[in-house]
């Protein structure tokens, strides 16, 4: 198997952290995002959406979407589970994962696309909408507040145990803080406690942003 990836991009990082948690080694091939290798005809054969990560299976077929790749490995190596084992845990983890992707990551993405780094990197490729960034910045900060309230009452995002919801939220917030200027307010102490705990796991330290 081969993972087409990039050492610091936030979606691939989710897969890297997940694989470290499970102690799974997969050959990694770095895709050069700067030169647009992910949009080349050769890469489009692997993922028609021209995005990373992409997993090449031993039979020559390809899987993309970070969570689909993680689910594939979870099915191959169920323990330690990152998606839950009991019906209740599976449901709860999926609920938090979906909220994190659809409400937090999506708005961080809007702020990123309409922000200063993309303005420099991809001048002319996107029409930037400052009002959209204002709204998504506010939505991200509101989401941080909601997380802080929830983390006051439990250790990890979906309960007592670390899960794919924690991996996804950590990768999203690290990216938001370092590259989108959306650092959680220092007063959100429960969110800060959780961030400290997930950042200290070997899987996070082995796969920094």
Contact positions vs ligand GSH (CB under 6 A): 9-11, 38, 50-53, 65-66
- State the Cα–Cα distance between residues 180 and 174, nearest whole angstrom: 9
Residue 11 or 20: the one with the smaller Cβ distance to ligand GSH is 11
For the bound state, the minimum distance from the C-beta of residue 39 to ligand GSH, rounded and expressed in Å, comes to 7
- State the Cα–Cα distance between residues 122 and 105, nearest whole angstrom: 20
- State the Cα–Cα distance between residues 112 and 135, nearest whole angstrom: 12
- Find out whether 7 and 67 touch, Cβ atoms under 8 Å: no
- State the Cα–Cα distance between residues 157 and 164, nearest whole angstrom: 9
- State the Cα–Cα distance between residues 140 and 138, nearest whole angstrom: 5
For the bound state, the minimum distance from the C-beta of residue 10 to ligand GSH, rounded and expressed in Å, comes to 5
For the bound state, the minimum distance from the C-beta of residue 38 to ligand GSH, rounded and expressed in Å, comes to 6
For the bound state, the minimum distance from the C-beta of residue 78 to ligand GSH, rounded and expressed in Å, comes to 21
Residue 5 or 203: the one with the smaller Cβ distance to ligand GSH is 5
Residue 11 or 114: the one with the smaller Cβ distance to ligand GSH is 11
Residue nearest to ligand GSH (CB): 51
């Amino acid at each position: 198997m081969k993972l087409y990836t990039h050492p610091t991009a936030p979606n691939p990082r989710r897969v890297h952290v997940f694989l470290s948690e499970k102690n799974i080694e997969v050959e990694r091939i770095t895709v050069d995002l700067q030169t647009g290798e992910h949009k080349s005809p050769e890469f489009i054969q692997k993922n028609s959406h021209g995005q990373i990560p992409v997993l090449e299976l031993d039979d020559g077929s390809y899987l993309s979407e970070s969570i689909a790749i993680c689910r594939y490995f979870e099915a191959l190596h169920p323990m330690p589970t990152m998606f839950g084992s009991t019906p209740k845990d599976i449901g709860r983890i999926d609920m938090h994962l979906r909220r994190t992707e659809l409400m937090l990551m999506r708005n961080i993405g809007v702020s990123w696309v309409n922000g200063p780094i993309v303005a420099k990197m991809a001048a002319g490729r996107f029409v930037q909408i400052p009002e959209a960034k204002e709204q998504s910045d506010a939505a991200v900060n509101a989401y941080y507040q909601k997380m802080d309230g929830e983390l006051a009452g439990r250790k990890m995002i979906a309960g007592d145990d670390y899960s794919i919801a924690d991996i996804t939220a950590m990768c999203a917030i690290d990216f938001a803080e370092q590259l989108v200027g959306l650092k959680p307010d220092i007063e959100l102490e429960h969110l800060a406690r959780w961030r400290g705990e997930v950042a200290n796991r070997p899987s996070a330290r082995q796969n920094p942003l």
